[in-house]
Amino acid sequence: MRITRLEAIPYAIEYTHPLRFASGEVRTADHVLIRVHTDDGVVGEADAPPRPFTYGETQSSIIEVVTRIFAPQIVGTPVFERGKIHQVMNRTVHNQVAKGAVDIALWDAIGKGLGTSVHQLLGGYTDHLKVSHMLGFRPAQELLEEARRFGEEYGIKTFKLKVGRRPLALDIEACRVLREGLGDDVELYLDANRGWTANEAWDVVRATEGLGLTLLEEPCDAREAMSRRRLVEKSPIPVVGDESVPTAGDASRELLSGGCNAICIKTARSGFTEAQEILGLCTGLGVDVTMGNQIDTQVGSLATVAFGAAHEATSRRAGELSNFLDMADDLLAEPLEIVDGRIHVRSTPGVGAGIDDEKLARYRQD
Ligand code: MUC
Ligand code: MG
């Protein structure tokens, strides 16, 4: 199974409900479908969601780096020689989303070639992930209505609230309204996407004490090293690194320097291979992990489920898997379903993300 071609197809699908948060806003899923073609006719596929405001990658930069920089070095290599392919891609720094999608597409091709699901190949620990729903910036009462609706319709009992606004009272009030309205059985945690300073985050932690919040993600820029370390030391709840830790090296640096004490793993920017390296580091150190969402499509969310459900540590907490519900459509041929607050893995060979060719033809932009 030698690689014959790497394809990078830009496509765009609108969001019915844009997601707003401290570092940006997503109105359209302007993503790239990556395809790894092999001489056996097997095609591995993965979704690449660029997040320009976070990592600087765009639809165009992903296409460029995959087709003009990676492809000439990778074509001709057997798909099973992932080690060689990663050594080649790692010569280029950053471009994590492009690398992550190539990696997932390779795993998909390997699974299809072997007739085995990638979830089994990665570890096969359990058959589902619990779902956490992400609540973007909205007035507190609307957030409560949205959370109640997701609870009733999908059985979701875990919510991540996007925070990082000023004045801080806006977010403190939203936490209070959600806790009072949802009751104590619902898990609530926060993600500020670097919107505050570490000292502002500390003010929020103190003001929300007693509301039973479980995690505080990326409260400030991780490069504010001294005040961030002070926050991590004092905080009664784990401080999660997200955009500061796309690689195992970043995760090591942040954990060892006290910049965070929990890690958000996103397959969209780490692929399965680097995500396993990050996970090994975290389990070795006894550090909690969450399965995050890069505002993924159903294709991307299925990859997160395949990885998250494959390991014990990544399946303990609810994974962020429901952003696709706010999209007008998707490329996935057989839609994902959230039932009783869970998404199940697929046992079909590969990652399980069959693409609907008609939809791809409708939404592709090349
Ligand atoms: C998150 O956890 O930060 C927002 C930007 C991004 O890349 O992912 C989302 C969610
Ligand atoms: Mg985050």
pLDDT digits (tens, 9 = 90+) for 92-126: 999 999 999 999 999 999 999 999 999 999 999 99
pLDDT digits (tens, 9 = 90+) for 332-350: 999 999 999 999 999 999 9
Question: Is 221 labeled as catalytic in the residue annotation?
Answer: no
Question: What whole-number distance in Å separates Cα of residue 325 and Cα of residue 270?
Answer: 23
Q: What is the mean pLDDT of residues 63-80?
A: 98
Question: Is 234 labeled as catalytic in the residue annotation?
Answer: no
The pLDDT assigned to 42 comes to 98
The pLDDT assigned to 183 comes to 98
Q: Helix crossing, 267-285 with 96-114: angle to 10°?
A: 90
The fold adopted by the segment(s) 120-344 is TIM Barrel (3.20.20)
The pLDDT assigned to 348 comes to 97
Pocket of ligand 1 contains residue 54 by CB under 6 Å = yes
The protein residue whose alpha carbon is closest to atom 7 in ligand 1 is: 294
Q: How confident is the model at residue 322 (pLDDT cuts 50, 70, 90)?
A: very high
Q: How confident is the model at residue 268 (pLDDT cuts 50, 70, 90)?
A: very high
Domain 3-115 sits in CATH 3.10.129.10: no
Cite the beta strand spans of 300-352 per DSSP E. 319-320, 342-344
Rounded to the nearest whole angstrom, what is the distance from the C-alpha of residue 295 to the centroid of ligand 1? Answer: 6
Q: What is the mean pLDDT of residues 27-39?
A: 98
Contact 104, 303 (CB under 8 A): yes
Average pLDDT of the chain to the nearest whole number: 98
The pLDDT assigned to 96 comes to 98
Contact 319, 341 (CB under 8 A): no
The pLDDT assigned to 288 comes to 98
The pLDDT assigned to 292 comes to 98
Pocket of ligand 1 contains residue 193 by CB under 6 Å = yes
The pLDDT assigned to 132 comes to 98
Name the residue ranges covered by the structural domains of the chain.
3-115, 120-344
Q: How confident is the model at residue 40 (pLDDT cuts 50, 70, 90)?
A: very high
Q: What is the mean pLDDT of residues 8-35?
A: 97
C-alpha 359 chain-centroid distance: 23
Work out the percent of the chain whose per-residue pLDDT is above 70: 100
Reported for 355-361, long-range contacts at CB under 8 A and 24+ positions apart, including other chains, are: 355/33, 355/45, 355/299, 355/331, 356/331, 356/332, 359/329, 359/330, 359/331, 359/333, 360/9, 360/11, 360/33, 360/331
pLDDT digits (tens, 9 = 90+) for 222-260: 999 999 999 999 999 999 999 999 999 999 999 999 999
Cβ-based burial of 49 (10 A; exposed 0-12, middle 13-18, buried ≥19):
buried
Work out the percent of the chain whose per-residue pLDDT is above 90: 100
Q: What is the mean pLDDT of residues 190-210?
A: 98
Ligand 1 atom with least separation from CA of 160: 2
Ligand 1 atom with least separation from CA of 55: 7
Rounded to the nearest whole angstrom, what is the distance from the C-alpha of residue 130 to the centroid of ligand 1? Answer: 19
Q: What is the mean pLDDT of residues 278-286?
A: 98
Rounded to the nearest whole angstrom, what is the distance from the C-alpha of residue 197 to the centroid of ligand 2? Answer: 16
